[in-house]
Amino acid sequence: MSFVEYGDTIKDGDTAIVFLGHESMFPVKVQHGTVTQTKYGVIRHSTDLIGKKYGSKVTCSKGGWVFILHPTPELWTMNLPHRTQILYSTDISIITMMLEVKPGSIVCESGTGSGSLSHALIRTVAPTGHLYTVEFHQQRAEKAREEFREHGVEHLVTVTNQDVCKNGFGVSNIADAVFLDIPSPWEAIGHAKSALKAEGGRICSFSPCIEQVQRTCLAMEEYGFTEINTLEILLRVYNVRTISLQIPDLGKAAEDNSSTGFDCSNPSDQGSPCANLQQGTVQFKSGVPLREVVGHTGYLTFATKS
């Protein structure tokens, strides 16, 4: 099993996603002789998982069923164990695009944290690129190495436990892109410039506070970065539902009926808007935003090495 090389069959030692519904899923380490409890009953790894195809519908001991999915960076972001605050797909997508990351790219990242963005970057740079990720906290760095090894991507990533603001990324003039998610990114701008290739490399800094953004932008200008811009991504979800609106009185009813294109005398058109003309309303589908939307996550500041 690998997050970048997808397989068909569930094997002993794989990480799989148990899917109970869009709002209910969790990761499981597949091991011979192990069982997993769900609200639908027990899943026995030896008989219910190992040897089955990913995407299979598995019946639990109480008669309910779940799907077993192959892990992806997107699914891992939704299910990973949180060691720190993480980046979600909304921000990850724009970061990957604006940094121009592609297969074969060399990317430097700090800090590693829970590895949400790391998995997405690894999948993007595979099979010939590489991620150099720096984590200040020793236990988090060791846990990240363990996860990358279990997920079959350790050959695509190098994890370093050090302070990026003092010691940098450990590489020079090779990176196509640098990403910073640390409390004081302005202290690491010089090291980021040293890690980037000679010309045209891109940098991104993620900061929750605008004061951090201001100091980071000043540091970028000081080190000669150009095309500096800051943006914020807000996710707004819409619900599609049927609503009714009153029909304004614009003239004769017969003329209104003919303009709709429906034959109201035809029984097959009883479900059409004509069926509601007598009551003075018409129904149609509309997209309505949720009353509560996801708020601020952080500011993304991008720049180019001149």
Tens digits of residue pLDDT in 63-80: 889 999 999 999 999 999
pLDDT reading at 117 higher than 80: yes
CA-wise closest residue to 169 among 194, 197, 141: 194
* Predicted local distance difference test score (pLDDT) of residue 279: 55
116 is in an annotated binding site: yes
Looking at domain 9-71, does it have CATH number 3.40.50.20? no
Query: What does the pLDDT look like over 262-299, one tens digit per residue?
Result: 555 555 555 555 544 445 788 888 887 877 777 789 99
> What residues does each domain of the chain span?
9-71, 75-233+295-305
* Predicted local distance difference test score (pLDDT) of residue 274: 52
Q: Which helix (H) or strand (E) holds 136?
A: none
pLDDT reading at 217 higher than 60: yes
* Predicted local distance difference test score (pLDDT) of residue 126: 96
| pTM for the whole structure | 0.84
- Structure-block tokens of residue 131: 């991620």
Task: Please compute, for residue 26, the number of CA atoms within 13 A of its CA located in the half-sphere on the CB side.
Answer: 9
52 class by beta-carbon count within 10 Å (0-12 exposed, 13-18 middle, 19+ buried): middle
146 is in an annotated binding site: no
115 is in an annotated binding site: yes
* Predicted local distance difference test score (pLDDT) of residue 199: 87
Dist. CA 68–CA 83, nearest whole Å: 25
Q: What does the pLDDT average to over 85-112?
A: 96
* Partners of 157 in beta bridges: 131
Q: 75-233+295-305: same fold as 9-71?
A: no
Q: What does the pLDDT average to over 187-210?
A: 96
Give me the CATH topology for the region 75-233+295-305.
Answer: Rossmann fold (3.40.50)
Dist. CA 170–CA 195, nearest whole Å: 8
* Predicted local distance difference test score (pLDDT) of residue 1: 80
250 is in an annotated binding site: no
* Contact predicate 73/3, CB 8 Å: yes
163 is in an annotated binding site: yes
